Amino acid sequence: MKVLKILDWPAKRYYGETHPLYKWRSLLIENDIKVEFYFDINDKRLYGGDYLMLHSRYFEYGWQNIKLRDTHNQAELFTFLKRVKRYTGRLIWFDAADSSGSQDFPLIPYVDVFLKKQILKDKNYYTSANQGNDLRIWLNKKEHQSSVFEACPVNQLPKIGLAWNLAYNDYRYFGFKMSRLSNYLNYQIYPLKYSPVISERKYDLAFHGTIHATDTGQKGVFAQRTHLLNSFKELELNIATGVNVSKKQYWKELRASKISVSPYGWGEICYRDFESMISGSILVKPSMDHLQTFPNVFLPGQTYVPLSWEMTELKQVLEYLIDNYKSLRHIGQCGQEYYQRMMLDGQGFVEALKRNIDLTDSL
């Protein structure tokens, strides 16, 4: 039995990205992996495991926050990594940043494995040969660049591997206080509710958000969202939009929507992608073909409708989908069924995890 120790993100200890490790904890033991969770870097029990995975957001109030990063907290972190590595079989950094890019490459020489929720198919983008690239590849234009990252040394590139993406988060509805039950409430007792695709849908589209004054610099992160909201003026569709609404109202509208558009935000993959599939809406989003991710539920034309990164064809695509909704809603059905299969495949998750923490395979 191998031991996988995890220094987890305290703020999301009850309701976060490590949810599948709780959900399939017994199955992991059956596959000879015992998972132990820790929330304090000073806990001496962190030392001595076969694997130690460090959730990057544990360090959100220090080095991992690029606005707070300095030589002092960098030296502290690197010293910790060198020390704990001496007592650990494999030291794993889980870069939980939203995008396929990373600002954490300065520490990659100090770990054995560098996992991300999604990585670029062309890893050369990360290397020093491409110094000056934007953190977010879709904004890698001089007029849009918002954040240039420190490149990954070429000889460290093989350490970059896949973790798992936001698909495995817990999307069951909980009130605020009830969210603490997320990792412990069995899905057979409280299952995830899927909406039938053929159910009555009074909205063509549901999307709430804020228009930003400019799409340059950091605002470029929101350019796709702003383009979507501006396009509503030209669309003669029944759209649920406006200021942000409660979580309960958000789900109600999404489950009653034929289409769901999910633009990139801080990263390519968003909670909304999977909420749309759960709700039975046809997912429309900028192309994901540049990404390698797990589970990959983004099959163009099958589980979602891709757009260009500029989304220039948005109006025509949305009008076409609504005009031909009955003949095209199978995309929503296929997306929901595919996602549901992934969420029931605990063994698939376990096998992928074992491969990825050992870097023995690429998905």
Structural domain includes residue 229: yes
Structural domain includes residue 363: no
Q: Are residues 23 and 63 in the same domain?
A: yes
The answer to whether the beta carbons of residues 203 and 256 sit under 8 Å apart is yes
Tokens of 91: 């030291």
As beta bridge partners, residue 53 has 6, 92
User: Who's near 30: CB < 8 A, 6+ residues apart?
Assistant: none
Q: Are residues 118 and 226 in the same domain?
A: no
Q: Which residue, among 162, 63, 139, 133, has the nearest Cα to 104 in the 3D structure? A: 63
Q: Are residues 212 and 259 in the same domain?
A: yes
The answer to whether the beta carbons of residues 222 and 263 sit under 8 Å apart is no
Structural domain includes residue 68: yes
Structural domain includes residue 269: yes
User: Who's near 29: CB < 8 A, 6+ residues apart?
Assistant: 1
Q: Are residues 144 and 198 in the same domain?
A: no
**pTM recorded for the entire structure:** 0.94
What interhelical angle do 223-231 and 314-323 show, nearest 10? 50
Give the HSE-up count for residue 1: Cα atoms under 13 Å, Cβ half-sphere: 10
DSSP one-letter code for 313? T
H or E element: which one contains 81? helix 71-85
Report the CATH number that the domain containing residue 252 is assigned in CATH: 3.40.50
Q: Which domain holds residue 148?
A: 2-168+345-358
Cα separation, 70 vs 55, whole angstroms: 19
Structural domain includes residue 174: no
Q: Are residues 143 and 27 in the same domain?
A: yes
Cα separation, 180 vs 194, whole angstroms: 22
As beta bridge partners, residue 257 has 203
Structural domain includes residue 175: no
Q: Are residues 234 and 280 in the same domain?
A: yes
Q: Are residues 55 and 196 in the same domain?
A: no
The answer to whether the beta carbons of residues 47 and 88 sit under 8 Å apart is yes
Cα separation, 114 vs 102, whole angstroms: 10
The answer to whether the beta carbons of residues 207 and 237 sit under 8 Å apart is no
pLDDT by 10s per residue, the chain, length 363? 999 999 999 999 888 999 999 999 999 999 999 999 999 999 999 999 999 999 999 999 999 998 999 999 999 999 999 999 999 999 999 999 999 999 999 999 999 999 999 999 999 999 976 777 888 999 887 665 567 788 999 999 999 999 999 999 999 998 767 888 999 999 999 999 999 999 999 999 999 987 766 555 556 788 899 999 999 999 999 999 988 899 999 999 999 999 999 999 999 999 999 999 999 999 999 999 999 999 999 999 999 999 999 999 999 999 999 999 999 999 999 999 999 999 999 999 999 999 999 977 544
Q: Are residues 259 and 134 in the same domain?
A: no
Domain count, the chain: 2
Q: Are residues 104 and 36 in the same domain?
A: yes
In the chain, the amino acid numbered 363 is L
Residues 135, 92, 82: CA angle, nearest 5 degrees: 100
Q: Which residue, among 272, 309, 271, 302, has the nearest Cα to 288 in the 3D structure? A: 309
In the chain, the amino acid numbered 121 is K
Q: Are residues 307 and 354 in the same domain?
A: no
Q: Are residues 340 and 241 in the same domain?
A: yes
Q: Are residues 158 and 185 in the same domain?
A: no
Give the chain's largest Cα–Cα span: 63
Structural domain includes residue 254: yes
